[in-house]
C-alpha cells in the first residue's frame, strides 16, 4: 500500500517533468489570452498557424536528424538554394509540378551529399554540414545569377495560400509532414534505427543496423524538407534571392530543443517539435501584439532556449 502510493507520487513527478513543455506552452497561451487584446482571435491564431507552416515542415524532418545523433547546419542554405533551382526550372518549363519536383530533387541530392560525408568521411555532422552550407550557399549565388528570381505566374501562390476548412494548403502540407515523421518514428523499422543510432551508434552497429544507410536516409529527408519548405515559402513570397535569410535553421533547432528533444540524440519525439514551434511562435506573437521592440525578442528567445536546455541537463530526463 505504501509502496503503491509512493509509486504514484513518483509517477506524477515524472509526468510533470516529461510533459513540462506542454504545461508551459499552455500557460503562455492562457496568459496571452487573458492579457493581450487580439491574441485569442480566429484571425490571429490562423496567422500564427500559417506563418509557422514552413518552419514546421523543416522542423519535422530535422527532428529525425537530431534524434539520430546528428546535426545539420546546412538546412538554412538548402532552404534558400533549393527554391532558386526550383524557380529556374519553373522559368524554363512553366510547370509548377516540375518546379516542386526540382525542389525535392535538389533537397534530396544535398541531403545525400551531407549523409555521405558524415557516414563515410567520419566527420562530425556539425562540422560537415557547416562546410557544406558554404557550398550550398555559394551555389545559390551561382544559380541565381546574383539576382532576384520571381515566380512567372502569380496564380501559383494558390498552391500555398488556398484555404481548405479555413486553413491554408501550406499548413495542411505541414500537417502531412508531421504525420509522415510521426509514422516514421513511431511505427517503422527506420524510426527504431534512428533512435538506436542516436542513442549508441556502436551498439546499434553491433546489433546489425546498417548505420550508414540510416544516416544517409536521414540527412536526405532533412534536405528534402528544407528545400521543399523553402520553395513553398518562396512561392508565397513570390520571389527568392541568394542573400535571403539563412537563419531558419536556428529557429528550427531552437524549437526542437525547447520542445525537449535531446541534442545528444537517441531521445525525442515529433509532438515535442510541434509544441516547441508553437511555444516560440506564441512568444513572438505576444511581443508583436504588445508592441515590444523586436530587438528584445531575440534576447528573450535566447534566454528561453538556455532555460530549456538547462532544464534538460538538470532534469536528466534523457540520461540513463
Partner 1 sequence: MRIVVEDLSKRFGATQALRSVSLEIAPGKVHSLVGENGAGKSTLGKIVAGVYSPDSGKLLVDGQEVSFQSPFDSLKKSISLIAQEISLVPKRTVVENVYLGIEDATFSWVNRRKLKERFAELCETSGIFVPGDKLVAELKISEQQKVEILRALARDTKCIIMDEPTARLSAEESSKLLDVIRGLTKQGRSVVYVSHFLNEVLEISDQITIMRDGQLVRTSTPDQETHTSLVEAMTGKSFGSSFPSKQISEIDEKPVLEVKNLYSRNRFTDISMKVKAGEILVLTGLVGSGRSEVLRAIFGADKFDSGEVFLEGKKLNLTGPNEAIKAGIIMLSESRRDQGILALRSVRENISIPYLSHLSKLGLINRRKESDFSTKYTVETGVRAASNEVRISSLSGGNQQKALFARALAGNPKLLIADEPTRGVDVASKRAIYDLLASHSGKGMGILVVSSELEEVVGIAHRVLVMSAGKIVKELTGSEITESSVLAASFEGMDTLNGN
Q: Please report how close the Cβ of residue 141 comes to partner 1 at its closest, in angstroms.
A: 39
Q: Please report how close the Cβ of residue 81 comes to partner 1 at its closest, in angstroms.
A: 30
Nearer to partner 1, 66 or 248 (CB): 66
Nearer to partner 1, 204 or 254 (CB): 204
Q: How many CA atoms lie within 13 A of 26 on its CB side?
A: 5
Nearest residue to 211 (alpha-carbon basis) of 141, 130, 115, 304: 115
With a CB cutoff of 8 Å and minimum separation 6, the contacts of 284 are 297, 301
- Is the CB of residue 87 less than 8 Å from the CB of residue 99? yes
Residue in the block written with cell 534505427: 193
* Residue 240, H or E segment: strand 239-240
The Cβ of residue 92 has, within 10 Å, a number of other Cβ atoms equal to: 11
Q: Please report how close the Cβ of residue 63 comes to partner 1 at its closest, in angstroms.
A: 16
The residues of the shown chain that bind partner 1, judged by CB under 8 A, are 3, 6-7, 10, 183, 187-190, 192-193, 195-196, 199-200, 202-210, 266-267, 318, 320
Nearer to partner 1, 166 or 208 (CB): 208
Nearer to partner 1, 46 or 205 (CB): 205
Which residues make beta-bridge pairs with 168?
163
Q: Please report how close the Cβ of residue 212 comes to partner 1 at its closest, in angstroms.
A: 9
Residue in the block written with cell 513527478: 13
Nearer to partner 1, 94 or 187 (CB): 187
- Is the CB of residue 90 less than 8 Å from the CB of residue 151? yes
Q: Please report how close the Cβ of residue 215 comes to partner 1 at its closest, in angstroms.
A: 14
The Cβ of residue 288 has, within 10 Å, a number of other Cβ atoms equal to: 16
Nearer to partner 1, 6 or 92 (CB): 6
- Is the CB of residue 184 less than 8 Å from the CB of residue 190? yes
Q: Please report how close the Cβ of residue 203 comes to partner 1 at its closest, in angstroms.
A: 5
Distance CA 175, CA 66 (A): 20
Amino acid at each position: 500500500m505504501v509502496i503503491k502510493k509512493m509509486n504514484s507520487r513518483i509517477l506524477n513527478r515524472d509526468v510533470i517533468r516529461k510533459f513540462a513543455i506542454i504545461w508551459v506552452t499552455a500557460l503562455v497561451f492562457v496568459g496571452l489570452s487573458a492579457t493581450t487584446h487580439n491574441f485569442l482571435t480566429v484571425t490571429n491564431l490562423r496567422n500564427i498557424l500559417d506563418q509557422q507552416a514552413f518552419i514546421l515542415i523543416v522542423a519535422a524532418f530535422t527532428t529525425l536528424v537530431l534524434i539520430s545523433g546528428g546535426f545539420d547546419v546546412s538546412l538554412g542554405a538548402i532552404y534558400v538554394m533549393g527554391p532558386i533551382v526550383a524557380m529556374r526550372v519553373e522559368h524554363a518549363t512553366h510547370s509548377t509540378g516540375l518546379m516542386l519536383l526540382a525542389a525535392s530533387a535538389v533537397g534530396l541530392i544535398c541531403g545525400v551529399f551531407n549523409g555521405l560525408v558524415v557516414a563515410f568521411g567520419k566527420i562530425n555532422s556539425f562540422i560537415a554540414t557547416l562546410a557544406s552550407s558554404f557550398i550550398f550557399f555559394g551555389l545559390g549565388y551561382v544559380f541565381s545569377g546574383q539576382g532576384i528570381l520571381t515566380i512567372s505566374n502569380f496564380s501559383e501562390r494558390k498552391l500555398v495560400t488556398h484555404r481548405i476548412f479555413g486553413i491554408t494548403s501550406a499548413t495542411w502540407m505541414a500537417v502531412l509532414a508531421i504525420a509522415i515523421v510521426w509514422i516514421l518514428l513511431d511505427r517503422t523499422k527506420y524510426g527504431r534505427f534512428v533512435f538506436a543510432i542516436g542513442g549508441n551508434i556502436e551498439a546499434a552497429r553491433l546489433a546489425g543496423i546498417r548505420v550508414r544507410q540510416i544516416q544517409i536516409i536521414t540527412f536526405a529527408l532533412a534536405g528534402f524538407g528544407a528545400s521543399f519548405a523553402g520553395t513553398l515559402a518562396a512561392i508565397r513570397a513570390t520571389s527568392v534571392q541568394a542573400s535571403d535569410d539563412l537563419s531558419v535553421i536556428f529557429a528550427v533547432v531552437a524549437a526542437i530543443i525547447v520542445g525537449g528533444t535531446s541534442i545528444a540524440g537517441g531521445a525525442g519525439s515529433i509532438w515535442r517539435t510541434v509544441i516547441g514551434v508553437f511555444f516560440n511562435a506564441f512568444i513572438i506573437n505576444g511581443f508583436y501584439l504588445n508592441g515590444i521592440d523586436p530587438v528584445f525578442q531575440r534576447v528573450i528567445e535566447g534566454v528561453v532556449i538556455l532555460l530549456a536546455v538547462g532544464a534538460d541537463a538538470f532534469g536528466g530526463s534523457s540520461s540513463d
